[in-house]
A and B are shown apart, each in its own frame.
Chain A
Amino acid sequence: MTSPLQQKLKITGPTVITANRLTDGVVVWLTAESGWSDTLSRAAVVSTPDDALRLLGIANADENHAVGAYPARVTVADDGSLAPVNLRERIRVGGPTVALPGAAA
């Protein structure tokens, strides 16, 4: 869970590229169509450093839509569904693990 921005690019399995949407900071993932989705299941998955670097290059070139792109490990289930590997990414996918105070306005 060390900040991904401080990690070297080390690809050890299925990996997606994630970032935050410029306009509102919402968590997004790079899709196979080189766009961004706020749904992890639509993320493009790669497994090699070269492919991850290529996607990262696409992501970084699109910083007017999403910022702070980095690779994140995922698991791929038999049915193809994706799940984040570590707690940090699970929180980014699912939101805070605690109930938000009060009702949303």
Chain B
Amino acid sequence: MYIYDEFDRTFLQERVDEFRDQVKRRLDGELNEEEFKPLRLMNGVYLQLHAYMLRIAIPYGTLSSDQMRALAHVARRYDRGYGHFTTRQNIQFNWIKLEELPDAMADLARAGMHGLQTSGNCIRNTTTDQWANATPEEIEDPRLYAEIIRQWSTLHPEFTYLPRKFKIAITAAKHDRAAIRVHDIGLRLHRKDGVTGFEVIVGGGLGRTPFVGKTIREFLPRHDLLSYLEAILRTYNAGGRRDNIYKARIKIQVHEIGTEEFTRRVEAEWAQIKDGALALDDAAIDAIRAHFKEPDFEALTDGPAELEAAKTNPDFARWYANSVAPHRKGGHAIVTISLKPVGAPPGDATADQMDAVADLADQYAYGEIRVAHEQNLTLPHVRQKDLFTLWQALDAQGLATPNIGLISDIIACPGLDYCALANARSIPLAQDLTKRFADLDRIADIGRVHLNISGCINACGHHHVGHIGILGVEKQDQEFYQITLGGKANHKAKLGELLGPAVPENEVVNVVERILDTYVELRTSKQETFIAAVQRLGIEPFKERAYAAR
């Protein structure tokens, strides 16, 4: 866990006081809406269909148990008893009253939380692998660099009014769980000749005009991280389009001037500043590292007797096989908590569930929790000997659905049920899909499938990179859904291909089922995953079957 110091705490309190004054002046009529709107957005406050929505930053997806309890408190005290975890590792509350927002923010600030950098044309919350500092795959904890970026970007005077919002993601593992190639900047930590550095990927993104990012530097020594990011941001800030909101993201700039020219501009800018104040020395990196409190891991060995005995319970064994991953420390494991039970809105958790997860984190996981961009939670450091007891407790809270990575582990935006920008609903469709695919044996047989739903072209549900992507559109006041196949968000990121005409809402589940039936029929073996079959066969066989019965 990163432990805030006095500077951070004072800063947050000052921002709360500032916002309290801004809200008061708005309610008193001293500020009009045009003046107030950018101020509330800078604090993560949106106005949605039915109410204000508060988006709270969860830097690099890491929460302490006390912070989770603070979220539960906000859900109960100021909202309607639940929150929605997002694809950017944040949480949103949907029913906050403007007049109560300053109090909610004060309560959050006491737990070191806030809504800064969750809205507006600034550098947003940097996201990373939810298995950071736990998985044996990674070369270093990427959150260290995410925190360095946070400190550099928060209140950065040059980058508070960028042409458009700006999202950075980092991974340090070979398997990319942070979708870095569909971010404005993706950073992949790796080693070259014994030196730690980054592959720098720029210009990825989803939304109206999706692109997979381009690598502009294969290796950037870690000491140059901030100066190089500054050079990229300056290049974007100077040349990014401000005349058209739909063409204002860096991906459009990179696309329009070309990767080569964009890289040339970045390198030229970097040459001017690389040895300046932003150069990171080991002392600076170590100072940040010192703020991350390493769990006091017990010395344990893999495969304790308690775990081996528990595996005779078939329900536990199923969950263990699905939701538990290896840890870098002997005798420990990574546990993913599904927020996708059958029939529930993906990513939602009640205040009681948040409190339960906080308590379980304290009891079994060194008090640490992560949020995954797939809208699930993770306990990154669980003692293997406690897995059975933990599973029982999670199951009692409806948090042990063994569907991680399977068809019912759906990413979905809030859609038209909440969002002012949406064209169609996402949640009811996700609910219907989880009901159709409720049979655990069946979904285990189908295997790994990522199904992502967005309620509009802004693509908060990452539909472009779903193995099956679903995009809600509106035709004459009716909901229709476009379906794409073959998208991937991992280290081999790819945008999905449109299957055919949009289908009406009441046919989507049947179409998805026919697509999956086609896969089961045509796969070479159970070892050939859905996405591998789509790559081998192309979309035609799926298209033929999907539309055949209509």
Chain A residues lying within 8 Å of B98, measured Cβ to Cβ, are 22-25
Instruction: Write the nearest CB–CB distance from A56 to chain B, whole angstroms.
Output: 15
Q: Interface of chain A, helix or strand or loop or mixed?
A: loop
Interface size, B (range): 35 or more
Residue B75, interface by CB 8 Å:
yes
* CB–CB A104/B81 < 8 A: yes
CB neighbours (8 Å) of A55 from chain B are none
Chain A hits for B97, CB < 8 A: 23-25
Cβ–Cβ contact A96 & B417, under 8 A: yes
Which of A9-17, A40-48, A82-90 is found at the contact surface with chain B?
A: A82-90
Distance A20 CA – B51 CA, assembled complex (angstroms): 7
**Using a CB-CB cutoff of 8 Å, which residues 341-360 of chain B contact chain A?**
344-345, 348-353
Q: Which residues of chain B have C-beta atoms less than 8 A from A87's C-beta?
A: 416, 425, 477, 479
**Do A1 and B477 touch (CB < 8 A)?**
yes
With a CB–CB cut-off of 8 A, which chain A residues contact B51?
20, 24-26
- Chain A nearest Cβ from B435, distance in angstroms: 13
Q: Is B285 an interface residue (CB 8 A)?
A: no
Given contacts A22-B27, A24-B99, A91-B417, contact A101 B50 (CB under 8 A): no
Once bound together, how far apart are the Cα atoms of A87 and B425, in whole Å? 10
**Any A CB within 8 A of the CB of B423:** yes
Most buried by A among B29, B98, B418, B428: B98
The reply to whether A105 and B50 contact each other, CB–CB distance below 8 Å, is no
Q: Which B residues from 65 to 94 make CB contacts under 8 A with A?
A: 75-77, 79-82
Which B residues, 415 to 459, have Cβ-Cβ distances below 8 Å to chain A? 416-418, 420-421, 423-425, 427-428, 431
In the complex, the answer to whether B350 meets A91 with C-beta atoms within 8 Å is: no
Flag if B47 contacts A98 (CB, 8 Å). no
- Give the complex CA separation of A98 and B351 in angstroms: 18
Q: Which of B14-45 contact A (CB under 8 A)?
A: 26-27, 29, 32-33
Asked if A101 and B349 sit within 8 Å, CB to CB, the answer is yes
**Once the chains are docked, how many angstroms separate the CA of A68 from the CA of B36?**
13
A105 and B80: CB pair below 8 A? yes
Q: Is B48's beta carbon under 8 Å from chain A?
A: yes
Residues of B within 8 A of A26 (CB): 50-51
CA distance in complex: A87, B417 (Å): 10
Chain A nearest Cβ from B56, distance in angstroms: 17
B351: contacting residue among A64, A86, A105, CB under 8 A = A105
B81 A102 Cβ-Cβ under 8 A: yes
Q: Would you give the 0/1 interface string for A1-44, flagging 1 where the beta carbon is closer than 8 Å to chain B?
A: 11100000000000000001011111100000000000000000
Interface residue ranges, A against B (CB under 8 Å): 1-3, 20, 22-27, 63-64, 67-68, 85-88, 91-92, 95-98, 100-105
Please give 18 more A-B residue pairs, beta carbons under 8 A apart, in addition to A64-B29, A88-B49, A96-B50: A2-B423, A2-B474, A23-B98, A23-B99, A25-B51, A25-B97, A64-B32, A67-B47, A85-B477, A87-B479, A92-B50, A97-B425, A98-B427, A98-B428, A101-B81, A102-B353, A105-B75, A105-B79
